[in-house]
Every structure is written in structure tokens, then in C-alpha cells.
Amino acid sequence: MAFVDQISIEQVPRTIDPARHAMLDYGVAATYFALWMKYRRTHRGAAALAFINGAMVLGVSLFTDYPGGVWRKIPFPVHGTLDVVQATVAGIGPAVMGFANDGEARAFYSQAVSEIGVIAATDWHALERARIAA
């Protein structure tokens, strides 16, 4: 059993397949890089945290064994565990970087909550089942 199998939200079915998860990942990375551009001249802490999160999401996505992965070294369930790490960084990052009460922190809090929802709704073993069936 993978770590992410233990993360569930009652009545949230695991309907996000690996391809859809990849699309979400690249969209999240783009969102974080857009936040970095938005905050780079006005809020250094938020800009740095946005860049860190964008790089984390993009890097893990490029190395994940799923549709959209380029180098495919990270198994999809391990990617889920790394998603938990990234959601944690987004959620506690504003406090660690000293801007927990600034308006800019809201984007990180909402993204962390959204990420937990995606983690809970992702079918982390769809690729394994498809390979066994093939």
C-alpha cells in the first residue's frame, strides 16, 4: 500500500486518472510561475515561495511515470507522496517565510487545500492495473 492510499476524503471517489492528474500538475506549475511573475517586484517572500512550488511541481511531473512525464523515473504512487510534500510546503510556506497574514498567502493556502482534494480523488494505481491488464 502506498502512503497516498491512506489519504482519503469520505465520499470523494478516486476519479482522477493519471492523464488528468498530469494536466492538473502542469496547470498548477504554470499557476505558480504566474504568481512568481506577479509577486517578483512587490513581495519577495511570496515570489520565492511561488517559484519553489512551481519548480517542485514541474520537476516531479517531468520525472513521473505517467502521461506527460518526460523521463519517467518516479512511480505514480510515489508522485502522490511528493504531492503531499508540495501541498505541505504551500500550506506552511507563508508562515515559515514570514507572510502568513499577508493577502498573498491566500493563494498558497487555497492551493494547498486544492492539492489535498486532488490527492484524495486520484486513482494512484490506475497505471499498474492497466499494465497488468495489457
Rounded Cα gap, residues 56 and 61, in angstroms: 8
Q: Are 115 and 83 in contact (CB under 8 A)?
A: yes
The structure's pTM equals 0.95
Q: How confident is the model at residue 134 (pLDDT cuts 50, 70, 90)?
A: confident
Rg for the chain (alpha carbons), in Å?
15
Rounded Cα gap, residues 19 and 67, in angstroms: 5
Residue 11 pLDDT exceeds 90? yes
- With H, G, I as helix, E, B as strand and everything else as coil, classify residue 122: strand
- Return the bridge partners of 122, or none: 16
C-alpha distances in Å from residue 41, one per residue of 48, 101, 104: 11, 19, 13
CB atoms near residue 70 (< 10 Å) = 9
Q: How confident is the model at residue 2 (pLDDT cuts 50, 70, 90)?
A: confident
**Amino acid at position 125, single letter:** H
Cell numbers for 71, please give them: 523521463
Q: What is the 8-class DSSP label of residue 103?
A: T
Mean per-residue pLDDT over the chain, rounded = 97
Domain limits, the chain: 14-133
Digit-coded pLDDT (tens) for 12-67: 999 999 999 999 999 999 999 999 999 999 999 999 999 999 999 999 999 999 99
- Mention every residue, 6+ apart, whose C-beta is less than 8 A from residue 3: 77, 80, 81, 84
Q: Are 21 and 118 in contact (CB under 8 A)?
A: yes
